[in-house]
Structure 1
C-alpha cells in the first residue's frame, strides 16, 4: 500500500475547494467531498499508473479526474506526491 504527500500548493487547492463547497453546499458536503478526495489520493498512491500522463505540463506528471477536479501528481518510488488539485475548467498550464 503506497503513501501520498501533498505539496503546499495542493494543500492550498484543498482549502479553496473546502471554502467554496462550504459556502455553496454546506459543511457536510464539504466533509464528504474532502473524504472522497482523500480516498482518491489513496487509490492513486496504491495504483500510481492509474492516471494519464501529463508530460505536456511537466515531465513525469500524471493526472487523474475526480468528479469536477483533476488531481495532478508525481510518482516517487513507492509513494506519490500530490502536486495540485484543480477544477476541470481551469487552464492547467497556468498553474504550474
Structure 2
C-alpha cells in the first residue's frame, strides 16, 4: 500500500496552520480543518496524478488545492512526500 510522508517544512506549516486556527477559530475548528487538510494525502499517494503538475516550480512537483491551502508533493518509491502546505494567497514562487 502506498503511503505519504511529510518533509520538515510541511510538518511545520501544518503545525502553524493548527495554531493559527486555534487562535482565531477555536480548538474544534482547528481539529476539523487539519483533518480536512490531511484527508487527501493518502488518496494522492495511491493516485499520484490526482493533482496538477507544478514543474514550473520544481521538476516532478505536483499540487492540489485543499480548503484555503495548496499542498505541494512529489512522488517517491512507495507513495508521496508532502513538500509544502501553503496558503493560496502566498506567492508560491518565493516559498517552494
TM-score (norm 1): 0.95
Counterparts of 2:86 and 2:52, CA distance in 1: 15
Residue 75 of structure 1 aligns with which residue?
Answer: 75
Which whole-Å deviations, capped at 9, do the CAs of 1:2-42 have from their partners, x for residues lacking one?
Answer: 20000000001101100111011100011111111121111
Aligned length: 96
Residue 63 of structure 1 aligns with which residue?
Answer: 63
User: What secondary structure sits across from 1:21 in the alignment?
Assistant: helix
CA-based RMSD: 0.9
Counterparts of 2:73 and 2:7, CA distance in 1: 10
TM-score (norm 2): 0.95
Q: Which runs of 5+ in 1 are unaligned?
A: none
Residue 21 of structure 2 aligns with which residue?
Answer: 21
Q: Which runs of 5+ in 2 are unaligned?
A: none
Deviation at 1:93, TM superposition (A): 1.1
Residue 85 of structure 1 aligns with which residue?
Answer: 85
